[in-house]
Amino acid sequence: MTMKYWCICLAFLLSVPAAQGAVREQLRKGGKFYNDGKYGSALNSYQNILKEHPHNQAALFNAANAYYRLNDYTHAQEAYAQAAQEEGDLSQHALFNLGNAYYRSGDKQQAIESFKQAVLQNPQDKEAIHNLQLVLKEQKQQNDNQNNNNNQSSDSDNRNRQQENNQGQAPQQQQPQQQPQDRPERMDKNAADRVMSMAKENEYRRSAPAGRQLEQTVEKDW
């Protein structure tokens, strides 16, 4: 995955007034460290800004990116969430990367909520739409697998109880087998469930950008 980052930072730097030259210099320094893969040093630069300017959206956003690269997803989530609440042009991008941070930490439900908010703020963000579809699909597969495992466990328990009940009983005369009357109804229900799942999956796919594969993941790195 890639993330939203560098061009946004450059655009911000160009708009910073000359009176904030110290902040601009720290952002530039942090950006250089970040591009060189020195994420800890980049984080220090952004934290120096936040000591004096705790609501600086660019510093919060870029600090979150550094946390993310250091695999510190908890602090990344906190910084992205705060950046999304501050005034500026980075709110939607912070929500997008917040979804990525939640996804990497295994919290798919929060990832879905963050991607939804990113899409609401910018319905034309194809990457946010794609990531939302991806996590929805994975969550659906996980739920289906869990339901199948629960059903298999229940069937196994029923068979064990039946075997225990049959032990010690005298053999009975075999009766002609009858087809269960409710089997067609059960098959119809299973078929209906599959059709409903397919319909939901196709609904997600309709808004996907042409040519993209849902199995691929997307983040943005500007």
Give the percent of the chain with pLDDT over 90. 52
Alpha helices in the chain (DSSP H): 6-15, 21-35, 39-52, 57-69, 73-85, 91-105, 108-121, 126-166, 183-206
Residue 151, token pair as written in the block = 């059903």
pLDDT in tens, 15-31: 445 447 889 999 999 99
Note if the pTM is more than 0.85. Answer: no
Domains by residue range for the chain, with CATH: 6-107 (1.25.40.10)
* pLDDT of 58 over the 90 cut: yes
Inter-helix orientation angle 108-121/126-166, to 10°: 150
CA distance 217 to 199: 22
Task: Say if residue 11's pLDDT is above 90.
Answer: no
pLDDT on residue 164: 66
- Phi-psi group of 71: left, alpha or beta (phi > 0 → left; psi -120 to 50 → alpha; rest → beta): left
212 has pLDDT over 80? no
Tokens 């950046």 — which residue? 83
Give the per-residue pLDDT at 17. 55
Alpha-carbon distance of 22 to 19, in angstroms, equals: 8
Confidence tier at 55 by pLDDT (50, 70, 90):
very high
* In contact, 8 and 89? CB cutoff 8 Å: yes
- Check pLDDT > 70 for residue 51: yes
Tens of pLDDT, residues 85-112: 999 999 999 999 999 999 999 999 999 9
Q: Tell me the pLDDT tens digit for each residue of 116-128.
A: 999 999 999 999 9
Question: What pLDDT score was predicted for residue 160?
Answer: 67
Query: Residue 68 above 90 pLDDT?
Result: yes
